[in-house]
Amino acid sequence: MLEPPGAPEGAIAAEELERLRCEFEPLLGLKLDWLSVPESALPGFEPSQVAVLINTLLDAALPQISLLSLEDAENAERLMQLGLRKSPREIGQREGYPDYVHRSGKRVELKGLYVDNSVLEMKRPPTRREPSARIKENVTLQNVDSANDALLVAATQLQVIEDKACPVIVDLGVFSMIECIVAREIRLQNSPGKWIDKVPMVLSKKGRSKVRSGIAITDADYKKDTNFGKLNRIPHPPLVEFLRKHGYFPPESRKAGPAG
């Protein structure tokens, strides 16, 4: 089984990642009050449903984040200094890479991580669902700029303010994108799996049975990896630790976080 290597040559240094994280610190504690839910309505929502809404809002709001704090002039000024702008897109293109360009020249891909607030009454399933955010297959070793690309994970949590629950950014993680991609690829190989016609594929049950029986396998014995790129399944230690801090554990660890 392959193990994630050390930092690839040319990857953003840990010191640079920390400096970039400090640039984003004005986001901590920020209320995304463009989205709010009456506290009395929360029992009708599952945390995963709220997570989709929050992550969609976060992606749209970040380039115009100063508008979220117009009532607080000082905070609005701090947020304007984030120095982020949307990365250029071709007309009609929705899913591009990366999401943003920072004034430092670093390129930033944003992912949201919903952190359950256990004191709120919500419709929680028996077992916690893993985060849906993922680094999709359109982000590859070929189009990642090792020295400049970073993954920004914004942890958000619903908090009640004046009888309404709105998302608040409670933590930030900044990671080397190339290191995350390399770890993602190693997980695919270990599944076992591989790329077939630009699609990440893993060995099917039928294929595994063939291997156990000593029968040769072909590409037809593979199926699409529906979990490919999920943050919770990328074995990059700093990312794993960040997710663990917020109650999410890799499925392979067989550890369960608190229900939510």
Report pLDDT digits (tens) over 96-137.
Answer: 899 889 999 999 999 999 999 999 999 998 887 888 899 999
pLDDT digits (tens, 9 = 90+) for 181-212: 999 999 999 999 999 999 999 999 999 999 99
Q: Is residue 164's pLDDT more than 60?
A: yes
Rounded CA-CA distance 201/137 in Å is: 11
Q: Which residues contact 202 (CB under 8 A, 6 or more apart)?
A: 188, 191, 192, 193, 222, 223, 224, 225
Domain for residue 236, yes or no? no
Is 196 a domain residue?
no
pLDDT at 172: 97
In this prediction, what percent of the chain has a pLDDT beyond 90? Answer: 60
135: in domain = yes
Residue 260: band (very low, low, confident or very high) from pLDDT cuts 50, 70, 90: very low
Average pLDDT score over the chain: 86
| Least confident range of 16-20, 32-36, 194-198, 200-204 | 32-36
Residue 254 predicted with pLDDT over 60: no
Q: Give the pLDDT score at 1.
A: 63
Of the candidates 181, 176, 184, the one whose C-alpha atom is nearest the C-alpha of residue 202 is 184
Domain limits for position 33: 14-176
Q: Residue 202 falls within a domain, yes or no? A: no
Facing residues of 154 across strands?
112, 172
The β-bridge partners of 150 are: 108, 176
Amino acid 250: pLDDT: 85
- Asked whether residue 194 is assigned to any structural domain, the reply reads no
Q: Which among 113, 111, 51, 59 has a CA at the least distance from the CA of 244?
A: 113
Identify the CA nearest to 30 among candidates 201, 210, 162, 157: 157
Query: Stretch 68-79: mean pLDDT, rounded?
Result: 63
Look at residue 27 and tell me whether its pLDDT is greater than 50: yes
Q: Which residue has the higher pLDDT, 57 or 66?
A: 57
Higher pLDDT, 31 or 145: 145
Question: Per the domain annotation, does 19 fall within a domain?
Answer: yes
Instruction: Report d(CA 211, CA 224) in Å as an integer.
Output: 18
Q: What is the pLDDT of residue 255?
A: 44
Q: How far is the CA of 195 from the CAs of 2, 172, 198, 200, 253, in angstroms?
A: 16, 32, 6, 5, 25
Task: Give mean pLDDT, residues 131-145.
Answer: 92
The DSSP code sequence of the chain is -----SPPTTPPPHHHHHHHHHHHGGGTT-B-TTS-EEGGGGGG--HHHHHHHHHHHHHHHGGGGGGGGTT-HHHHHHHHTT-EEEPP--TT--S-S-SEEETTS-EEEEEEEE---TTS-----SSPPPP--B--TTS-TTT--TTTEEEEEEEEEEEEETTEEEEEEEEEEEEEHHHHHHHHHHHHHHSSEEEETTEEEEE-HHHHHHHHTT----GGGEEE-TTTTBGGG---HHHHHHHHHTT---GGGT------
Lowest-confidence segment of 32-41, 140-149, 153-162 by average pLDDT: 32-41
State mean pLDDT over 54-61.
82
Give the range among 25-29, 178-182, 221-225 with minimum mean pLDDT: 25-29
Number of structural domains (the chain) is 1
Q: Residue 74's pLDDT is what?
A: 58
For residue 40, tell me if it sits in a domain.
Answer: yes
Q: How confident is the model at residue 70 (pLDDT cuts 50, 70, 90)?
A: low
Residue 6 inside a domain? The answer is: no
